[in-house]
Structure 1
């Protein structure tokens, strides 16, 4: 199990697996790269970190930026990041999975990185149904009928939504903080005061002052959240700056603000997702094989033994707690996260 000695080893592990990621990138078919994304990230200390090479593919709504590694014939795995993070949360997980022979897809979520809307008239929705549909749209564009989905924060929510709406396409689910489909009808019910305190940014974004603050201070807000969300994770400037470039996306503020206003019932969703939201409002159970995690040092969602959400998982489920690990679990505990994905891929009931 993990303990605080894990953090003292992180520098060496990070260096080793980052090198492995660049080497394994050659396993995927070559495509035109996006120079701004491949550029190195340099922190104030002078540390330089390589960035994952990005390819682009169009869905019905988006031009999606994504990293791919591993053989094209391998079992597909989608790794889904959260807010305010980016694909580099999986910089150490992806090569571990590719080494197992899996095809690993790590997309930028809408509003992040090089993912762009194709039409200026498309609502910049950040609602949960949109995030889940984006997963299916990307799977369709890549001709992938089924996959294991694994994520945290927004990414775990997208994975849970996908597993609820189209379980036949989800072989397995890895979700940090367990069941993350939002019960918007009960959004007005208060949490205990000490939990409300940690959600300050969600309430801030309900206001126009908060929108302006995110526009002006997106990096400062993100770094504050990183520190609060993962108090035991001692990331350096270069690690943060590598991710922070994803927040320069022109739709970042609109998507983030809509996400947090919609989940609290303050704004309507986009009409295209009305039917999906009706299904999600029923708080559907998840029948797919699942492994769920809680970081016991998570500064956002307090760790639980999983029993409170047992009825929301009707398929096989294993819930695991990680001491000394915070909210960005794939980057803080990459080996444990990768092992969970490997377990589901190898034990999954693949239909194709």
Structure 2
């Protein structure tokens, strides 16, 4: 089983970021961004493919995951979308990379979408699972169809102190259940889960997760440092960079949708693909397809 080594670290904005890097230092840069509740090993089979193709591949642990840490104890432990985008931008700055292909899913896909939308000059291309992954917080409390609402039970659970305490008491039980529900056709083993679950032992994991799922519904305030960015995201900005989006037919969080459902969020340079037999964690479930999409944008 592939483990992403070696690991590097750099101070980037409010974080001491730990990341995996592979491939030639002068290759076209690619950032691979993991989601909740996963870690950098979602890309254990994607990163080597891209590195072998000549890319400089960077796979960071997000805030609240693995060995990544906040520089200051005073920084709010926010998991809001603006913070995730700011973290990615700060990491690009710290590594002196003015432009890169950005790829991700779930939280990591949201970070990539935020940068692509608000700082398009920094994004050479975007691979986004679940399409337009910028939250419309103003409409978050509008009810959805019941068949969609039940998939979000964990979000509503995290809105309560019962949910916070449940996650804190047994992170592995909660996250393993989500892995099974979100990717019902993916037969991962104990070792695969444990390789990623170690990242949830980060002391800030629970705080960042809870804030994220409460903020996206407008239930708690965000970090004031990102208020201006959140205001810009509230306008639902169009992503105009070259983009490939995916949905998985077996995704237990968000059902696959035709391209038209998210067309409002993209310019003319977007391709949308629905992948059979894939749940929510596409890079780990279909690494070859994911890597090929990244390379399409690298070589565009």
Of 300, 303, 316 in structure 1, the residue corresponding to residue 256 of structure 2 is: 303
Q: Does 1:213 find its partner at 2:166?
A: yes
Q: Does 1:334 find its partner at 2:287?
A: yes
Per-residue deviation, 1:53: 2.7
Residue 201 of structure 1 aligns with which residue?
A: 154
Q: Which runs of 4+ in 1 moved over 2 A?
A: 50-53
Per-residue deviation, 1:51: 5.0
Contact 1:176 1:292 in 2 (8 A): yes
Residue 40 of structure 2 aligns with which residue?
A: 87
Q: Does 1:269 find its partner at 2:225?
A: no
Residue 178 of structure 2 aligns with which residue?
A: 225
Per-residue deviation, 1:219: 0.5
TM-score normalised over the length of structure 2: 0.99
Pair 1:307–1:59, CA change in 2 (3 A): same
Per-residue deviation, 1:60: 2.5
Q: Does 1:293 find its partner at 2:246?
A: yes
Contact 2:25 2:56 in 1 (8 A): yes
Distance 1:311 1:276 in 2: 20
Distance 2:78 2:252 in 1: 26
Contact 2:4 2:20 in 1 (8 A): no
Provide structure 2 residue ranges, at least 5 long, that are not aligned to the other structure.
Answer: none
Residue 156 of structure 1 aligns with which residue?
A: 109
Radius of gyration: which is bigger? 1
Of 10, 16, 21 in structure 2, the residue corresponding to residue 63 of structure 1 is: 16
Contact 1:233 1:325 in 2 (8 A): yes
1:170-209 equivalences under 5 Å are: 170-209=123-162
Equivalent position SS for 2:279: coil
Provide structure 1 residue ranges, at least 5 long, that are not aligned to the other structure.
Answer: 1-14, 19-49, 348-352
Residue 34 of structure 1 aligns with which residue?
A: none
**Number of aligned positions between the proteins:** 300
- CA deviation map 1:22-57 (0-9, x unaligned): xxxxxxxxxxxxxxxxxxxxxxxxxxxx45331111
Q: Does 1:318 find its partner at 2:252?
A: no
Of 33, 47, 50 in structure 2, the residue corresponding to residue 97 of structure 1 is: 50
Equivalent position SS for 2:143: coil
